[in-house]
Amino acid sequence: MALQIPEPVRALIDKIPEAEWMPRAVASTADIDSVLRTPDDRFEGLPGYPFAPNYLQTPERYGQSLRIHYVDEGPRDAAETLLCMHGEPTWSYLYRHMTPLLADAGIRVIAPDQVGFGRSDKPADRKDYTFERHIRWMSDVVEGLDLRNVTLFGQDWGGLVGLRVLCHLPERFARVVISNSGLPGPDFPEASPDEPGMTTDAFLTWLRVRLIVPSWAGMLKGAMRTKTLTDAEAAAYEAPYPDESYKAGSREFPGLAPLWRGYPSTAECTTAWNEVLSHWDKPFLTAWGEDDDVFPLPEAPRLLIDRIPGCKGQAHTTFPSGHFTQEEQGPLLATLVRDFLEANPLPAR
């Protein structure tokens, strides 16, 4: 996203205490006390989203068994399964342009709503969310549905969480497509709120803005670069949140970023890079929106292309779009994914 912050908002974010917006130095280990569930009628009649809901109940973890929603389109017995991981502050609605095109091509498309988003359960306290918990919950989806020969498509936090799930369950994944995302590591700088380190000034600004922006719908409308979201489409992104109490997960997600040495999940990301990603030789494609201050060209995709063996020889591409590439260029991405799968067929059984 290209962050264009009005001066009145910038004045507000400059007053937010560092302790409130900086990523937490210690991840919570407390059990989850309260869980919210968005009423079903909030999802009725959303434009372009006709998909039947599907649910998976996780094992009890962190004091709660949670209900996770996922879209499941295309043949259940398809040879190809695409796991579509959204980020923040979106949900599986983001994949509505891609899903039918890929399902019609004979690909099973699984698009879960991460915990705290969409139709999935929403722990009520921001401290209920950690990066490692998100990875465990999404691993529950992959294992619970017994997904194999998976191609991961990850954007924004869908890439961070998805790549860590892949590193946890590498035998279940066959290919990767990353769009405007990545995974921090393997090395991390010392913590400093005034220095971007491995991230960007735009993301440091977003760490503040996410605490005060009143509506995700308005933010998403402003983030578009090649299209205009209709009011109904923008409202669909706000549908999971009847009021502010439902937004704990979406408010907290940016603050879970592993950016600085010794912070939560930095050790785990280092291990993921050193033990899995730096040796990953299965097909790995980058498909990048060109107008994104958070994951900018050319540096962001190069961090993957130069370090992951499976990127070699692939048709890495860029195209006109802001940060939310699935929203702006969904049909194009569906074509890129289909062509990538055809160019890199699964090994014969």
What single string gives the DSSP state of each residue in 267-319? HHHHHHHHHTGGG--S-EEEEEES--SSS-TTHHHHHHHTT-GGGTT---EEE
What mean pLDDT comes out for the span 56-61?
A: 97
Q: Residue 12, CB half-sphere, CA atoms under 13 Å: how many? A: 13
Cα–Cα distance, 206 to 195 (Å, whole number): 14
DSSP string, 96-161: TTTHHHHHHTT-EEEEEPPTTSTTS-EESSGGG--HHHHHHHHHHHHHHTT--SEEEEEETHHHHH
Cα–Cα distance, 72 to 214 (Å, whole number): 31
pLDDT at 81: 98
Band (pLDDT 50/70/90 cuts) for residue 218 is confident
Band (pLDDT 50/70/90 cuts) for residue 312 is very high
Going 18 to 20 to 22 to 27, the CA torsion angle's sign is: positive
- Tell which phi-psi region holds residue 247, choosing left (phi > 0), alpha (psi between -120 and 50) or beta: alpha
Cα–Cα distance, 88 to 50 (Å, whole number): 22
- Tokens at 119, concatenated: 């139709």
pLDDT at 214: 83
What mean pLDDT comes out for the span 224-240?
A: 96
pLDDT at 232: 97
Strand partners for 178:
154, 286
For the ranges 2-11, 80-89, 212-221, 261-270, which has the lowest average pLDDT?
2-11
pLDDT at 219: 86
Q: What is the pTM of this model?
A: 0.95
Burial class (CB in 10 A: 0-12, 13-18, 19+), 232: exposed
Cα–Cα distance, 249 to 125 (Å, whole number): 8
Band (pLDDT 50/70/90 cuts) for residue 202 is confident
Which residue from 247, 269, 239, 245 is spatially nearest to 257, judged by alpha carbons? 269
pLDDT at 341: 98
Q: Annotate 261-286 with b (16+ C-beta within 10 A) or e (fewer).
A: eebbbbebbbebbeebbeebebbbbb
Question: CB–CB of 330/230 below 8 Å?
Answer: no
Interval 148-169: pLDDT, tens: 999 999 999 999 999 999 999 9
pLDDT at 236: 97
Question: CB–CB of 193/186 below 8 Å?
Answer: no
Interval 248-293: pLDDT, tens: 999 999 999 998 888 999 999 999 999 999 999 999 999 999 999 8
Which of residues 66 and 294 earns the better pLDDT score? 66
Measured N-to-C along each axis, helices 131-144 and 157-168 cross at an angle, to the nearest 10 degrees, of 60
Residues noted as catalytic = 156, 292, 323
pLDDT at 194: 63
Average pLDDT over the chain, rounded to whole?
93
196 DSSP 8-state letter: -
Which residue from 326, 265, 321, 314 is spatially nearest to 294, judged by alpha carbons? 321
Would the pLDDT of 9 be above 80?
no
SS3 content of the chain, % helix, strand, coil (to 5): 40, 15, 45
Would the pLDDT of 195 be above 80?
no
pLDDT at 8: 66
Sheet harboring 150-155: ordered strands across? Answer: 54-57, 67-73, 108-112, 81-85, 150-155, 173-179, 284-289, 317-319
Delineate the domains of the chain, giving CATH numbers in brackets.
7-343 (3.40.50.1820)
pLDDT at 240: 98
Question: CB–CB of 181/161 below 8 Å?
Answer: no
